[in-house]
Structure 1
Amino acid sequence: MDVLVSLTDRLWNPLVVLALGLGLVLTVLTRGVQVRRIPDMVRLIVSNERSAAGVSSFQALTLTLSSRIGVGNIAGVATAIAAGGPGSLFWMAVMALLGGATAFVESTLAQIYKSTSQGRFCGGIPYYIEKGLGRKWLATAAAAVALVLYTLLAPGVQANSIAVSVGQATGLSPWVTGALVTAGLGFIVFGGRRRVVAVADTLVPFMAGGYIAVALAVLVVNIAEVPAVVALVLRSAVGADAVFGGIVGLAVAWGVRRALFSNVAGVGEGTFGSAAAEVSHPAKQGLVQAFSIYIDTLFLCMATGFMILVTGNYNVHAAGGGHIVAHVPGVEAGPAYTQAAVDAVLPGVGTYFVALAITLFAFTTLVAFAYIADTNLAYLTRGVSRPACRHGMRAALLTMVFHGSVESADVVWAIGDLGYATLAWINMACIILLARPALVALRDYEAQRRRGLDPTFDPLALGIRNADHWTGAAAAGPARPPAVRPVPEQVPEDGGRGRLRAAVTRARRGRSGGAGR
């Protein structure tokens, strides 16, 4: 276990710097697209472009949100506060703002280089690595890492959190909870892609809206504490607080790390759902996915963090052991902080509410994992009949869900962190090399918007190669109106000879300069 934690830290520590730096550079290159284009984001979310091959922008948003919104929004925020103090919330917010630019670029790339397989859109990290960079071996490696991550490594984190929270609320054995979650997930994932999308489309808005509503209730009741908590977060983030000033480095590291784990901007998790959307221009889906980072981190993670801080239900660990502060002695960092925060306003409700929230958040994440794993499997087995492979992958995922339910939380979190860090290194390195097509697409989108057009995409005109789906769409061109037969001109009685003589006379005058007088 110690070796696993050490390896994970070795991957994550420099990744924090890379994620912040990449987000900052892309923010500059896109001229802050994640802020400038917020009105477009909201408008595009409710657009209803869809087809038999692709889902609408809203459905793609809920599909990616179902993977982004998970236990990281509750347990992850609590562990960040415990390890890095209140200042970690500030750095989570910074990572969300910068991550919006990263999410825009990676999701736009997913749209540019998407393909059609078996009558549906598919795309994501391996597709844009192969088509954009021309490195099929690297694309294959990325697909293999993503398949292992979302089939074997990541599901345990979500399943374990469900089992722990349900067990605390009801006393139900993890074995029973694991069996129920596995059975429910199996019914959905073996039902095919449309059932997966339908579940995300239905549950995500409901669960996110309900969670934010309860958080607002907690904040309203404790409104007098909010200004002091905001000041505490800001002081702690820059090392100016008397109590938490000495752990500013941990605040940065854990704030960014848990923000990345939650919103996965730069990890590439959102690219698979992004590619499934039916849009007329890739930048449209990039903007929608940039907004999804705000929903995940600025709304949901901040809701959890401020609930915990305004009610004072948290501890902060000291580097050498013990605690810097111990407001809730003996309470382990994680969902219990949020449960105590809700109980402070709604006595007796916190345990059950958080158990329900984690169950919904984590379950929809598992549904999204199945979709992502299936997309990577499709890439690895192209041209091969794969029903047996697909069923085997789903069976392996369900096995890991059950195993994660009864495994130690420390083990499943360390394994999940290791998998996410590995995929993030591959994806971020490729985004650095591949940013240009996304930036060109953004400029094209904005140029068309300035002309009052609904943007469409012609990659060849922009110098973007291997965008096979869009090349075909551009070649087909827009639908033309039905041809109108011209009305025959009436022929004069002289057969047109008079007009011919007049035209010849005008031409002669023009050559002699007479036409200019």
Structure 2
Amino acid sequence: MGELLNSFVSFTNNILWSYVLIVLLIAVGLYFTVYLKGPQFKFFGQTFKLLGSGKPKNGKGVSSFQAFCISVASHVGTGNLAGVAIAVSVGGPGALFWMWIIALLGAGSSFVENTLAQVYKVKDKNGYRGGPAYYMEKALGNRKLGIIFSILITISFGLIFNSVQANTITFAFEGAFGLNRLYGAIILIVLTAMVIFGGVKRIAQVAEVIVPVMAVAYVLVALFVILKNITLVPHVFGMIFEGAFGIKQFTGGGMGAAIMMGVKRGLFSNEAGMGSAPNAAATAEVTHPVKQAIMQVFGVFLDTIVICSATGFIVLVSGANQQEGLTGIQLTQVALTSQVGAWGNIFIAACIFMFAFSSILGNYYYGESNIEFMNGSKTVLNIFRFAVIVMVYVGSMSSLDMVWNLADLFMGLMALLNIAVIFKLSKIVSKVAQDYIAQKREGKDPVFYAENIDGLVNVECWSKENENVENQEGKGKSSVSHAEASIDG
């Protein structure tokens, strides 16, 4: 019975992820790019200015950069090391090109879902919460749909995917350092518990340290490998474009494999349009929803165009992809070790830890936010936290193929829900984006008020009335600028 169920789930996943979701995510990404006139391109120049903005008032809440780091922590994981290697080994060098394309298109969907998350966020004692479940309830008036989404993301991201990341960490450390997996599991459990029981603020504080360190360190090593083989770089680009468009690949079916692997791995990696990142984006204190959406679009760029490309170039310049029998993380390890020596294995193990541990924290927060949506009870939240710890232990000690297949199914259904909803709500995003652009043209630092958008209802955090209340509460405590006082108004 178990084998039959596993076969059915695997069959369903193959159809869902290889055909249905790929077509839908590309289609909606292209639609949003055209409909909103390329927000992922026209706003990109503002990204670096926004990286240091949106600091929470009085040291409370989550800053724009911290929210960005939570989402990057979740989707920059071991897939950036192993997934790209699989794409290149199965789909050829051309798969990397199609990963770039899907990232550029998917960034349009990312802009939409993260704008909506900010518009419909809610406030609690710890700051802000939001995401697809929240805009399903408030924008569509459909709480049941929001609960379904919350269940899917909590089970897949909050629980099962964390067991996957834990499994990867303990296996990597056992291979690199000979560390007994039980000891590795205990260390990982302690570290995870120390962070997640501290709430979103502690998660944000840890993420804003781990994410920049892991990204910069990995990219610097990749740059070293590329510079060491600088004469091969033109040849590598030639392989990438030939693999994507070459006559030989077209007639032999290789082009189709490159497209399929590039698109699938690109979608799995950056998660644009799938409804996960908006849960983190909603936590940020900013003066306009579009500001955080711009930041989240940069996360898609960082994940795929930068980090995935780094892995792709390490593999291709080393020539390790030509060796038979190598794929996944093993291919990345062999490629890097051939270029930097034996310490490459240790470096990859360290990267796996940072990438996977940060994913555990980001995935946990997605679950926490949706637990709060379904039931704000402290008891329920603590039960969920203990369940996460249990899954980290179970994942550290064993492989659960059936459970992981179910997680893929739940994530796919979650993505289908989110795609349908953000498509339906795209007109709201267009109005919010136009409001942002109009204020920028007037030389203003954009501040968002829900009253300025026709037809916008059930918005909790962006009214002028809320701003006035907060200003009254803040008198005598500090002197703040109009922009700062408008953070949640």
* TM more than 0.5: yes
User: Does the aligned pair in 1 maintain the 2:315–2:331 contact within 8 Å?
Assistant: yes
Is the 8 Å Cα contact of residues 140 and 380 (structure 1) preserved in structure 2?
A: yes
Q: Structure 1 pair 136/243, CA: closer, same or farther in 2 (3 Å)?
A: closer
Alpha-carbon contact 2:62-2:127 (below 8 Å) kept: no
How far has the Cα of 1:476 moved from its partner?
2.6
Greater Rg over alpha carbons, structure: 1
5+ unaligned residues in a row in structure 2: which ranges?
1-5, 476-489
Q: Does 1:312 align with 2:307?
A: no
In 1, distance between residues paired with 2:178 and 2:123? 47
Runs of 4+ with >6 A deviation: 477-480
The equivalent of 1:210 in structure 2 is 217
Aligned to 2:451: 460
8 Å Cα contact 2:131/2:275 also seen in 1: yes
1:61-460 correspondence to structure 2 within 5 Å? 61-242=68-249, 245-314=252-321, 327-331=322-326, 333-382=327-376, 386-408=377-399, 411=402, 414-460=405-451
Q: How far apart, CA to CA, are the structure 2 residues paired with 1:474 and 1:203?
A: 35
Is residue 16 of structure 1 aligned with residue 22 of structure 2? yes
Alpha-carbon distance between aligned partners in 1 of 2:167 and 2:89, rounded to the nearest angstrom: 20
Using structure 2 for the length normalisation, give the TM-score.
0.91
Any unmatched runs of 5+ in structure 1?
A: 315-326, 483-517
CA apart distance, 1:242? 4.9
Q: Distance in 1 between matches of 2:16 and 2:461?
A: 36
Match of 1:318 in 2: none
C-alpha distance in structure 1 between counterparts of 2:206 and 2:252, whole Å = 44
Distance 2:83 2:400 in 1: 13
SS in 1 for 2:57: coil
Corresponding position of 1:34 = 40
Residue pair 1:178, 1:401 contacting (<8 A) in 2 also: yes
Alpha-carbon deviation of 1:479?
A: 6.6
The 8 Å contact of residues 159 and 364 in structure 2, kept in 1 or not, is answered as no
- TM-score, normalised on structure 1? 0.86
CA distances 1:415-468 after superposition (whole Å, capped 9, x unpaired): 443232121111111111111111111111001000001111122221111111
Distance in 1 (CA, whole Å) between partners of 2:262 and 2:279 is: 25
Q: Which amino acid aligns with 1:50?
A: P
Bigger shift: residues 242-251 or 108-117: 242-251
Distance 1:405 1:277, change over 3 A: same
Which one has a larger percent helix, Structure 1 or Structure 2? Answer: 2
* AA at the equivalent of 1:59: Q
The 8 Å contact of residues 151 and 400 in structure 1, kept in 2 or not, is answered as: no
Partner of 1:320: none
Q: CA RMSD in A?
A: 2.1
Name the CA distance, whole Å, in 2 between partners of 1:472 and 1:136: 26
Question: Does the 8 A contact of 1:457 with 1:474 survive in 2?
Answer: no
Could you report, residue by residue, the CA deviation over 1:123-176 in whole angstroms, capped at 9, with x for unpaired residues? 011001111111111111111111111232211221121122212212223333
Q: Deviations over 1:326-375 (max 9, x none)?
A: x22333x2111111121121110221111110110000110111211111
> Is residue 290–residue 436 contact of structure 2 (8 Å, CA) maintained in 1?
yes
Deviations 1:191-229 (A, max 9, x none): 222211111011111111000000001111111111111
Distance, in Å, in 2 between the alignment partners of 1:210 and 1:181 is 22
Aligned residues: 465
Structure 1 Cα separation of the partners of residues 62 and 367 of structure 2: 18
CA contact (8 A) 2:76 2:355 kept: yes
